[in-house]
Amino acid sequence: MADPIIAGLGVVALMGAAATIAGAAEDLESDTGSMSNPNSQVQLAPQMGNLHRIFNKAVSGEPVQMGSWAGIAGSIAFVLLSLNLPAVMAIAGGAAVAALVHAAFATSSHLGRIVSVSKFKQPLFLDVVTEHLGPIAGHGFIVTFTIVGVSYLMTLPIQGLAHPFPLPMLAVLWGITIGAIGSSTGDIHYGGEREYQQYPFGGGIPVRIHGDITRRAELGARNSLDAVNFCAKYGGPVTGFCFGSIVFFSFWSTVVGGIFGSISGAILPGNSDTNTALAVGTGILLIIIILIIIINNRMEVFARNKYGPYLK
Amino acid sequence: MANEKGWGPNSVDKRKTLAFGVVGGLAGIYLTPINPIIGPVLAALGAVCAIVWGADAISRVSSYGLGTGVPSIGYMSLAFSLVGALSGVSIAVYLGPHYTWLGPILGFVIAMLVGAIVAGLCLTVLRMKIPILMRCTIELAGAAALSVLGFSAAIAGSYALPNLLHSVIIPGYIALFFILNTMAIQHPFNACLGPNENRTRTLKLAFTTAFMVTGIVGLIAYPFTPAWWVIALVGGIGWYISVSAFIAASKEEAAEVKWTGWWPHDEEEFVQSVKEIKE
């Protein structure tokens, strides 16, 4: 039998890896459908006379969307686990059902939004729907599989983990979290850079260019797959790194706190192991947060000094 | 305004959706105990009625330019109606075993009361200038409470608190209902908003999302009720019919449906430029 702390650290490393993949896939999935911030501009484009061939996946904000899909996958996995299926198969089954629901919602939102601007002669291109559904459902499958995987690992009876919440609830909570991270970290790389590529970067998006999105690609009309190809180089990985480090550090600190818990129990009889573990874990987490704030500040100061003051 | 074909944001009478949601939702929930197979199916169908009503209410309030606020108001209404619905069924337990039947109606009323308080705060403290905010938030709260109670009763086979605790709250499905019913209620209008929104088409999509949730509820009800496959089957059939109607309506109302190609004016420009090159 392995040392429980070592086993816990191993599981936490696996959770961090799964979360990194989930973050990257979530951002790329939202770019495929031009969700969240870029979406309002895609919606506005036909009204400003700019017809396009971009997928308009207005399902909702990313947190609600990913919470729903991860919740569906988690609940189905919960049912399949109660049938004594192996965990990997159960989670894959849940994620497969969630992917089907995802594809149905994506189709209805594109049809709905495009038809609602028919006044401006925006055609409904059916190949846009069929072309994008695969990448949308596929990326969604990866996200729900890894998110339910992280939630399942959290419920395992390991010191520092063993969460008392049931799997469907944890899946919903983590789904909402990944949606929020994907929306806040990843979107700038599509919304600010790629969607307004014909304008100089860094100038913001003034009201007069609203709706004038880049509609032509290197060859032919631009579609949302071009945006994914662009974002996969930086926006997706950076989102994955962000979410992966959040998951890794928050669980790493509680597992490491567990070491101090057992020590304090030995020194002071009657002292609760769990409370000490939680207190030390939270302390470590606070130090990590302060360090990250300092690193961010240093990085921004370095960038400003290196690339000069902003021009007026 | 409806156009000459009867398409438009006012193409559905709001009193009809209100009656459909309230009567259908409450009837479905109260008919749950009649039979272990038919009862849960009726409860799920009651929740479908409530979702369609909620989708209509959210469409009316969001037409005042809420934009990105459509999912937010859906989220908010589910949050306070979950509190209301569960308080209602809990109060029925305190009243005694003879008053279990009061649970759903109490939950429905408390949810709408909380909705009224929230809408009052939005109007007075936040000073939101949306004239129908009060009415629509109350309607949304009622619809959301009925949808949660309906799906919960479908899984538990009863609307009594001990059954709901065992089959819905302890397995964590209540969190799924919170987010999935938000999705089902807000998605129809969020997906169909725009200058050419047609409420009939929006509500066809509402049936689609509601039946899809019913199908999921059937699948996850497997460990708790023998009616699980009937609920899933009803959800699947209902989804197929409603999604076919929605796709047909979308194709009919679209400016143009094409398998592939360019957008209109560029096509002409393109043909022109090819001609010029040839000449």
Tell me: the pLDDT tens digits for B214-243? 999 999 999 999 999 999 999 999 999 999
Q: What is the pLDDT of residues B59-110, one digit of tens each?
A: 998 877 666 678 888 889 999 999 999 999 999 999 988 888 999 999 999 9
Q: B181 and chain A: CB distance < 8 Å anywhere?
A: no
Where along chain A do its domains lie?
A: 4-216+225-251
Q: What percent of chain A has pLDDT over 90?
A: 49
**Cα separation, A126 vs A106, whole angstroms:** 13
**Cα separation, A170 vs A153, whole angstroms:** 11
To probe the interface with B, which of A65, A68, A113, A219 has the most B CB atoms within 10 Å? A68
Please choose, from the candidates A312, A307, A305, the residue with its C-alpha nearest in 3D space to the C-alpha of residue A203: A312
**Cα separation, B54 vs B43, whole angstroms:** 16
Touching A: B residues 99-128, CB under 8 Å: none
Q: Where are the alpha helices (DSSP H) in chain A?
A: 4-32, 37-44, 62-82, 87-115, 126-155, 167-181, 187-188, 224-231, 235-267, 273-307
CB B25 within 8 A of CB B50: yes
Q: Which amino acid is at A76?
A: I
Average pLDDT over residues B26-38: 93
Which pTM value belongs to this model? 0.92
Residue B1 has pLDDT above 80, yes or no: no
CB neighbours of B130 closer than 8 A, spacing ≥ 6?
Answer: B61, B64, B123
Residue A161 has pLDDT above 80, yes or no: no
Averaged pLDDT of chain A: 87
Give pLDDT, residue B269: 72
Query: Could you report the predicted ipTM of this complex, rounded to two decimals?
Result: 0.92
**Cα separation, A216 vs A45, whole angstroms:** 13
Residue A269 has pLDDT above 60, yes or no: no
Average pLDDT over residues A86-114: 95
* pLDDT band for position B12 (cuts 50, 70, 90): confident
Least confident of B40-54, B55-69, B106-120: B55-69
Judging contacts by C-beta atoms under 8 Å, the chain B residues touching residue A166 are: 170-172
**Cα separation, B153 vs B63, whole angstroms:** 33
**Cα separation, A147 vs A94, whole angstroms:** 11
* pLDDT band for position A273 (cuts 50, 70, 90): low
Give CB contacts under 8 A, 24+ apart, made by A209-218. A210/A41, A210/A44, A210/A48, A211/A41, A211/A44, A211/A45, A211/A47, A211/A48, A211/A50, A212/A45, A212/A48, A212/A50, A213/A41, A213/A42, A213/A45, A213/A50, A213/A52, A213/A54, A215/A45, A215/A50, A215/A51, A215/A52, A215/A53, A215/A54
Judging contacts by C-beta atoms under 8 Å, the chain B residues touching residue A115 are: 192, 196, 201, 250, 253-254
Burial A92-131 (b: 16+ CB within 10 A, else e): bbbbebbbebbbbbbbbbbbbbbbbbbebebbbbeebbeb
Distance of alpha carbon B70 from the chain centroid: 13
Q: Which amino acid is at A81?
A: L
- Looking at CA atoms only, how far is residue B71 from chain A in angstroms? 6
SS3 state of residue A97: helix
Tokens of B144: 């959301």
Residue A221 has pLDDT above 70, yes or no: yes
**Cα separation, B192 vs A111, whole angstroms:** 8
Average pLDDT over residues A73-81: 96
The count of C-alpha atoms lying within 13 angstroms of the C-alpha of A273, restricted to the half-sphere facing its C-beta, is 10
CB atoms within 10 A of CB B124: 9
To probe the interface with A, which of B3, B176, B201 has the most A CB atoms within 10 Å? B176
**Cα separation, B194 vs B210, whole angstroms:** 22
How many contacts (CB atoms, under 8 Å) link A and B? 183
CB A42 within 8 A of CB A34: yes
Tokens of A234: 């930086």
Please choose, from the candidates A181, A295, A300, A304, the residue with its C-alpha nearest in 3D space to the C-alpha of residue A238: A181
Touching B: A residues 61-120, CB under 8 Å: 61, 64-65, 67-68, 71-72, 74-76, 78-79, 82, 97, 101, 104-105, 108-109, 111-120
CB B21 within 8 A of CB B147: no
Residue A312 has pLDDT above 60, yes or no: no
User: CA angle A231-A232-A236, nearest 5°?
Assistant: 80
Residue contact B251–A124, C-beta within 8 A: yes
Give pLDDT, residue A158: 79
Judging contacts by C-beta atoms under 8 Å, the chain A residues touching residue B210 are: none
Please choose, from the candidates A109, A85, A131, the residue with its C-alpha nearest in 3D space to the C-alpha of residue A223: A131
Residue A258 has pLDDT above 90, yes or no: no
CB neighbours of A14 closer than 8 A, spacing ≥ 6?
Answer: A153
> Nearest CB to A72: which of B180, B253, B258?
B180
Q: Which residue of B has its CA nearest to A221?
A: B262
Averaged pLDDT of chain B: 90
SS3 state of residue B257: strand
